Structure 1
Amino acid sequence: MGINLITQEGMEILQKELDFLWRIERPEITQKVTWAAGLGDRSENADYQFNKQKLREIDRRVRHLRKRLEVLRPVPYSPQQEGKVFFGAWVKLVDDEDNTLFFRIVGADEIAHHQDYSSINSPIAKSCLGKEIDDEVYVQTELLKKRWYIDNIFYGAPELVKEKIIAAKEK
């Protein structure tokens, strides 16, 4: 479940990355490879070897992004989601000792560079789905089972809910 879901913001980020790699970075590296190849013996040419490897990495990432973008399905926000935890929700959890946990439920393709994002396939996200504020949530992992309470839920892109995020973290 959820393997091909992505937020609209996540979809735009992946499309921008693909565009940057294909239109800007790849042509620059291709030009460097062509220049370095013109210097002669490629087997001992560090510039050629380095940039050729970089070009392979770019091409691998471009292929991956194109394949993923074909199958990813952006999940739009719906006002009916308000008050319950669904895909794209920002969730603040509190435990019995007043420890807090704050995260957004997103697709697996979005979590790489975000500490406060959790994949919809993660145990914590799965345990929160469909819940409301003040509901108990039991998170079961291989190491422990812990009880949390849903303290806050809201929706929106990070830049649109920045004030809510800050307020939720400070409570």
Structure 2
Amino acid sequence: MSRWRPAAPQSSAYVTAEGQARLKAEFEHLWRERRPEVVRALAAAAAEGDRSENAEYIYRKKELREIDRRLQYLTTRLENLKVVDTAPSDLHRVYFGAWVTVQEPDGQSKTWRLVGADEIDAPRGWISIDAPLARGLLGRRVGETVEVKLPAGSRELVILAVQYGRPANLG
């Protein structure tokens, strides 16, 4: 049996203005604060002598590699992202950046925000535009019943509301 796996599909290159600001802030923090701090600690650990058995040195090298990897990712990602900061012309349809309130089959309502892959935050209800649920809702109107195909099976949802900007009920 082979270990080969097909490459994951590339995530969409969309981001909200807030998401872009968070990514830039993370980059600045890593570059201006975290990386210099780790480099100083690495230099201090290297000055202690034998590096082959120096746990602090080994740990700091690994930490520096992880920071550099994340910086490289953020540099590339920020260059390729398209910021979506305007509402669409039809405010009753579901598009990127929308807050969508749906009624579940059991009668409960849930609200999700469709965001870019770099902004996912499940506790806040932010789901990726590439997720099966989001793909099923895209382009649909308020009042429509939508059958979304999820990994756990199909589900029928009724779109109750679509808002752009922060809904008042979510603070």
SS at match of 2:89: helix
Unaligned runs of 5+ in 1: 167-171
- In structure 2, which of residues 98, 104, 117 is the aligned counterpart of residue 95 of structure 1? 104
Cα pair distance change 1:79/1:120, threshold 3 Å: closer
In 1: Cα distance, 2:17 partner to 2:90 partner: 16
Q: Which amino acid aligns with 1:165?
A: L
Provide the residue aligned with 1:4 in structure 2: 13
Identity of aligned residues (%): 37
Provide the residue aligned with 1:163 in structure 2: 168
1:47-58 superposed matches below 5 A: 47-58=56-67
Tell me the CA shift for residue 96 of structure 1: 3.5
Tell me the CA shift for residue 142 of structure 1: 3.7
Provide the residue aligned with 2:126 in structure 1: 117
Unaligned runs of 5+ in 2: 1-9
CA contact (8 A) 2:87 2:164 kept: no
Tell me the CA shift for residue 117 of structure 1: 1.3
Cα pair distance change 1:102/1:139, threshold 3 Å: same
Question: 2:157 aligned with 1:152, yes or no?
Answer: no
Cα pair distance change 1:81/1:43, threshold 3 Å: farther
After the TM superposition, which of the residue ranges 71-80 and 119-128 deviates more from structure 2?
71-80
- In the superposition, the TM-score normalised over structure 1's length comes to 0.87
Provide the residue aligned with 1:169 in structure 2: none
Cα pair distance change 1:99/1:154, threshold 3 Å: same
Tell me the CA shift for residue 100 of structure 1: 2.3
Question: 2:83 aligned with 1:74, yes or no?
Answer: yes
SS at match of 1:84: coil
Tell me the CA shift for residue 139 of structure 1: 0.7
Q: After superposition, what is the alpha-carbon deviation per residue over 1:47-100, rounded to whole angstroms, capped at 9, x for unaligned?
A: 111111100000000001101111011112226242221100011110232122
Tell me the CA shift for residue 114 of structure 1: 3.8
- In the superposition, the TM-score normalised over structure 2's length comes to 0.87
In 2: Cα distance, 1:93 partner to 1:70 partner: 34
SS at match of 1:102: strand
Please provide the CA RMSD for this pair: 1.8
In 2: Cα distance, 1:124 partner to 1:54 partner: 36
